[in-house]
Chains A and B, each alone.
Chain A
Amino acid sequence: MKGLRCSRLKGIKRYTGYVHLLLMDSLAFKTNLLSTFLASIIEFIVMLCIWISVFHSKSTIEGFSFPEMITYLCVAQGITAIYGWSNSIEGWVYERIHEGNIVFDLLKPVRFNFARIAEGIGSSILQISFVMILMTVLMILIPEFKGPRSLSCLACFILSVGIGYFIMSFISLIIGLSSFFLMSYWGIYYLKKAIIDLFSGSLAPLALLPGWMQSISAVLPFSKIVYTPVMIYMGRLSGQALVQAIFVQLLWCLVLFLMSEALYRIAIRKVTINGG
C-alpha cells in the first residue's frame, strides 16, 4: 500500500523533508533575510570604497591588480553571504539541547547531524538565490568584476564551494554541540564569525595578512571555505595545485565530519545520563 511505502523512505530521501521545511521557513521570513543581506552589502560597499582609494596610488597589491582585487572581493563576499545569518545550525542544535527537544530527535529514524545539515541546506537555498542574483547584477554594474576563466574553471569552482559548504556546516555542528557548556550562544557565534572572517580570506586575500597569520591560516580549515574556491575561480589554482587543493578540502571535510560525530556521541551520553 502507498502509505506504508512512504513510511519506509530510505537513505537521502528521509532528509528531503527537512530541506523542504526550512526552505518554506526561510520564505516566510524573507524580510528578515533581506535586511541582514542588505547589512552585509553595506560592509561590501565600505571595502569597495577602501580598495578604490588604495588603488589610486598603487597598481598592484601583493600580486593582485585592481580588477583582480575587485573580482576577489565580490566572489569572496558572495561565498560568505551564502552562509548568512539564517543558516544557523549551531543555533538549532543549541535550542534543541537547551529546551530539551533533543529527546524527540533521538526518537526519529534520522541521524541528528545529517538532519541539521539538511535543514541548513533548506535554509540556504533562498540565500544562494539572492547571492546569485546579486553577483549577476554586480557583474553588470562593475566592469572590473571578471567572470571565470573557463567553463572547467567554473565547474571546479562550484565543486569547491560545495565542499566548502559542508566544511562550514560541520564546523557549525561542532560549535552547536559544544554549546553544552554555555548558556547563551551569541558569544560563541560572534567568536566563530570573527575567527572565520579573519582566517577564511573573506575580507581580503590571505597574502595581505601578516606572515604569522598566514601560517596559522594554512593549518586551519577556514581558508578552505572561501580562499580556495576564490583562487580556483580566478584561475590561480590549476592543474596539480587544483587537484591538491580539492583533496585538502575533502580531507578537512572528513576530519570535521568525524569530529562532529564524536562530539554528538559525547553530547548524547550526557543528555541520557542526566535523564534527558
Chain B
Amino acid sequence: MAVKKYLSIWGLFISRNLQSKMAYRLDFIVGIVANTLMQCIGFLAIWVIFNQVEDLAGWSYHEVLLMYGVASISSGLSEFFLDGVWSIGNQFIRKGELDRLLTRPMNPLISILISKMEPHGLGQILFGVVLVIKVVLSGTLSFPAVRLCVLPLVVLCGAIIYLSINLTVASFGFFATKVMGMQVLVHHMNSFSKYPLPLYHKLIRILISWVIPFAFTSYYPTAWILQKKGWIIGCLCPAVAVILLFLSYQFWKWGLRHYQSAGG
C-alpha cells in the first residue's frame, strides 16, 4: 500500500538525517540550546507581563502559558518534520535539484519534505510539552480535562497549517525569484499567534484568522479547550487545516506543471 511505503521511506530518511546532524555534535547541541533559549525568552516575556498585571485581554497567566505551550509544540513539529519547504525556492527550483527529484518514483513534494529535518524542532516540542504539563498539573485552570485529549490533533493540525501556508508562499518560487524573504515575513506573522487575539486591532485579528490563519494553530484551539469559544470554532480548527492543505497542494501542483512545461 502506498501509505505504508511512504511511511517506511520516511522513517528511513528521518534516521539518516538525524545521524548526519548528530555527526556534528557541537552544532547539534548548540542548535538545541539556542532554540530552547529562545523559547525561554518567550516564557520570560509572559512572566514579565504578568509580573505587572493579572490578566492580558481577559486571559490569565496560566491560560496564556497553555497557549504558548501549544504554539511551541505545533511550530516545533513543523520545524522538525517539514523544514524542507524553506529550501524549495533556492535549492530545488533555482539550483534545479527539483529535476533530480522528478525522476524518482515518488511524489516530489514528499521527497522535499523528508529530505530536511531540523533537530532543534525537537527542543521546541519538548519545551511545549513540559510547559503544557506544568500548567495542567498546577491545577489553576478549570476546564474539562477530557478536552485535553484533542491536543495531539490540535498540534497536528497546527503543523499542517504551518506547512500549508509556507508551501503556498514557497510555490510562488515557480513564478518569481527570491521568495525566501516573503517566506520569512509570512512565517514571522506567527508571532501574533503567541498571544491572545483580543489584544490586537481588528485588522490584525482578521489577518491572522482568515488571511494567514496562524490563529488556528494556537489561539482558537486553546480557547476551545478552555471553554472560551464554542464548538463551532472547535470544529473549524481541523477543517481549516484540511482546507488549507488541499488548497496549498493544488497551488504547488499547478506551479510544478508550469515548471515542467517550461522545460524544467
Residues in chain A within 8 A of chain B (CB atoms): 31-32, 34-36, 38-39, 42-43, 45-46, 49-50, 53-54, 57-58, 61-62, 181-184, 186-188, 190-191, 193-195, 197-198, 203-204, 208-210
Contact = CB atoms under 8 A, between A and B. Distances in A.
B48 A197 contact: no
Main SS of the interface on chain B?
helix
Given A36-B181, A50-B49, 20 more contacts: A31-B178, A31-B181, A38-B185, A39-B188, A42-B188, A46-B192, A46-B194, A46-B195, A49-B200, A50-B56, A53-B199, A187-B31, A187-B120, A190-B34, A190-B35, A191-B34, A198-B41, A203-B41, A208-B52, A210-B47
B240 interface: no
Given A32-B181, A35-B182, A195-B37, A58 B31 contact: no
Interface residues of B, number: 39
Interface string B176-212: 0010111011001101101100011100100000000
A57 B55 CA distance: 9
B27 interface: yes
A50 B185 contact: no
B53 A57 contact: yes
Main SS of the interface on chain A?
helix
B44 A198 contact: yes
Closest 7 CB pairs of A and B: A35-B181, A187-B30, A191-B34, A187-B31, A39-B188, A190-B34, A194-B37
B150 interface: no
B242 to A, nearest CB: 27
Given A34-B181, A39-B184, A208-B52, A182 B26 contact: yes
B262 interface: no
B27 A194 contact: no
B57 interface: yes
B181 A54 contact: no
